[in-house]
Each structure stands twice: as C-alpha cells, then as structure tokens.
Amino acid sequence: VPRAATHPGLVGALINPSRGVPACIHSVVHNGALVARTPGLLLAGLDVSALLDRVRAQLHLETDYAAEARATSLYRRRLGRDPMLSVPSVRRAFCTPLILATDFAPGVAVDQLVAQGLPQDVRDRVATALCRLVMRELFVLRLVQTDPNFGNYLYDAANDRVWLLDFGATEAVDPARAEQLRSLARALCDADAARLRAAAQQVGYLDPRDPSAQADGVQAMLYLAGEPFRHRGPYDFAASDLSRRAFERGRAQFLGAGFARTPPADLVFVQRKIVGTFLLCARLKARVDVRAVFSESY
C-alpha cells in the first residue's frame, strides 16, 4: 500500500489502490489451509483452523482504513503525553474508505539509525522506549499495535522522538489475559520452572495432557525466549545470538517431539509484536535492561 505525503507538517496519507484485496486475502488463507492439510506436513490432529481464521480476520481488518482511523485515534488518546513517543492525529476531513490521512510525521525508519551513525546512547534510548511501550500496551493501555514492521517507527532526530505509525493491526487485550501474560513473564524473570509450567498452561501454550516430551520442549522454548527478561542489567542485543538459538530449538522441536497445538489464536499477533521488538533491538545493536522495563509494569 503506497504512502503519500503532502507538504511536511500538513498531511501524510495511506492510499489503498485496490478493491480486490479482500478476495486476495480469502484466496491466500484458503490455499494456506489446503497446504496445512498436506499429509506429513503437520502432526495428525493438530487443528490450525482457529489460527487461520484469526489471520484472515486480521488481514481483512488491516485493509479497512475507516477502522484504522478509529484505532489510531483511540491509541493516541490512551498513549497520551509520552517523553519520547508520539502518534500523528487523524485528519478525518481527508479520510475515505480508501484513504487514511494523518498529520505528517517526520523522521527516518528506526532500523536506519545504525547506518546513519547515531551514537549508542541514542539507539539504546530508542530501543528502551519501544520495549517499554510493549509493556505499557499489554499491562496499562490494554491496546497493542501488533505490527512491529521497522518502517512503522520513525525517528525524528531534531526532536529526539519516535513517531508510531500503522494501527491497522491494533488489538484490545483482555484484562484476564494480560494478567496471565504477566504471570508468565514473572516466572521467566525468576527462572521458576514450576511457575513457568503452570503459567504456560494457563495461557494455553501447554495442557496437562500433553506428552511429556512435547511439554518439556515447549517449556524449554519459552525459557529460551525469556532470556532478556532474566538478564540483570542491560541486555546486549548486538552480542546475542538469541534469534538463531530460538530458531534452531523451534526447528528441532518441530522435527522431533512436535507440537500438540498451535499458539492461542488471540496471542498470535501479540507474539509478533514482542518478537519483532526484540529483533528491532538487535537491528539497532541496542542495550536494554528488559528486566527493569518489565518490572516497571507492576
């Protein structure tokens, strides 16, 4: 979807050039469901229908610019004044079902900060602000922008601010679900295996009836993913090979004991936000005290 802008400081706009997108989404997801039923591709009995339904609904929502305009305004109100983060206001007079217009947001995509030679302290500050945002979204705002595409964050060096864009993939978080995730994160921080198993069952990653090899493998993956939460002091994402280790463990689990279930459908895009934010921290070669940032949330 092309992004257009008029004179800086006036209006930036997203223009949807096609009315055939919904049909394309239906076709892609339908074909994905057919592929998922290929014998030997997934474990027998693994039901992906709820997951695919969730993906289809989300993709359709992301093509609805009227809904995105409402989500942008709601998110902007809930975020309020922030020392480093801003959301451009919606210019409703210029909006249509195919055009989303907002105040112009200056800056460059944050993943370009390394190439532009910005100092370590700036990159650390930006990455910390975005990690803190994830915690605020889950536990305070109860509203998550779930698309962490690097281009959705613009760094305005002149004002030392990050502009947040693209709220087509915005999701409300149920308060009970937020508390389950908080319990899971606390168990990761404390490296408490028993509490981690219980929290993972509560969230829906595990079930007491799962074969032990499957449950142990999934729990080990969660523990590995929580490494930045357990680390005391700034976690050096540039020096970490966490993404490689997580990929290798996930592949080994898939090819070995496998998975008894898909991730909970309502958490698929929330997971995308968390993982994507950590990947952005790595791209920025940032150092972030993730444990402290999480601790601030309670």
Catalytic residues: 147
Distance CA 53, CA 195 (A): 31
Longest dimension (CA), the chain: 60
Chain mean position to CA 237: 17
Q: CB-based burial of residue 228 (10 Å sphere; 0-12 exposed, 13-18 middle, 19+ buried)?
A: buried
Which two three-digit tokens encode residue 138? 């889950």
**By the 8 A CB rule, do 3 and 65 touch?**
no
Q: In the numeric block, which tokens belong to residue 236?
A: 């050096």
> Reduced to 3 states, what is the DSSP secondary structure of residue 2?
coil
Q: Using DSSP, state whether 192 is helix, strand or coil.
A: coil
Nearest of 170, 1, 210 to residue 98 by alpha carbon: 1
- R_g over Cα of the chain: 20
Q: How far apart are CA 89 and CA 73, in angstroms?
A: 7
Q: Cβ distance 110 to 126 under 8 Å?
A: yes
CA–CA separation, 196 and 185 (whole Å): 8
